[in-house]
Structure 1
Amino acid sequence: MEPGQQSLPKLGARQFVKLERELEKGPLVYGWEDQRWTLARITTVIGRRFHVSYTVRGVWNLMRRTGWSCQQSVCRAIEGAVEVWRKQVWPQVKA
């Protein structure tokens, strides 16, 4: 491949829609409790679900091309952590 050329996406449009549905379920479904999607985790989900191999950089390019952002504000991250605590830890403490 020549410099500056992009490779063809390994996931088709239908598969990407399915990937988005998987991501909407949240990382907990895949065993990650902190409720954050990372590029490495998305790479793992793609491999498990679609039997397609991507590099982390390839997943970054895929997600960026399809409008996803990797940024999360600090406030939103804290809110997410509080929500997870409230749903998972507080019921155990309360009991």
Structure 2
Amino acid sequence: MSAAGRRRRETVRNQAAELFEQKIKPLEVARRLRVSPKSAYLWHQLWRDGGVRALASRGPSGSRCRLSPRCLEKLAAYLEEGPAAHGWDQDQVWTGARVATLIGRKFHVSYSVSGATRLMRRLGFTPQVPARRAAERDEQAIAVWKEATWGEVKAPGRPVTASSASRTKPGSPAGRRRAAPGAGGASPRS
């Protein structure tokens, strides 16, 4: 969760505490603060047991980062250098798997691919998906083929006529005859 989200949640909890002090019921607090009744009841119980301090945030949930702030700075620098500087010279793409491997090599700490991806995002990077291309691919030959051969091989498109994508309505309305007003409506179905 972002810092702004944590501040908003803290503000909402403080507002809830003020409302509880005014003897307002948890359901009404939930309605006023636009939170779930379950949250309001939980906050009410915490407030009853420990006051306003019990509603204070305990920081972000989840496991703590296994890299120190100094190691995080080093990791950001390694990511800035690019994948080629660390042995991935096929393409210049950081994937979650590569970052997890890099963390293991440099810091001797094991991270899952999803954990490495979250860490990348925290540092301001986004994981990329490498383009899967054959090593033998010849871009120049492909461009020549597209210009010279593709036009000849390509099948002609559909003729431009009144058509419809609907199975129940053949043709466009412009091509249909109109029935006279009061002429009996639709024809009988078979």
TM-score grouping bracket, smaller chain normalisation: 0.5 to 0.7
TM normalised by structure 1 equals: 0.63
Larger Rg: 1 or 2? Answer: 2
Name the % identity: 51
Question: Which structure 2 residue ranges, 5 or more long, are not aligned?
Answer: 1-60, 132-190
1:15-94 alignment runs, 5 A limit: 15-33=71-89, 34-70=91-127
Q: Secondary structure at the match of 1:62?
A: helix
Q: Distance in 2 between matches of 1:31 and 1:59?
A: 18
Q: CA RMSD in A?
A: 2.0
Give the conservation status (yes or no) of the 8 Å contact 2:83–2:92: yes
Q: Would you say how many aligned residue pairs link Structure 1 and Structure 2?
A: 69
Runs of 4+ aligned structure 1 residues displaced above 6 Å come to none
Q: Distance in 2 between matches of 1:37 and 1:71?
A: 6
Which structure has more RCO (C-alpha within 8 Å, separation ≥ 6)?
1
Deviation of residue 13 (structure 1)? Answer: 1.2
Residue type at the aligned position of 2:105 = R
Question: Which structure 1 residue ranges, 5 or more long, are not aligned?
Answer: 78-95
TM normalised by structure 2 equals: 0.33
Deviation of residue 44 (structure 1)? Answer: 0.7
Residue type at the aligned position of 1:10 = R
Q: Distance in 2 between matches of 1:46 and 1:13?
A: 14
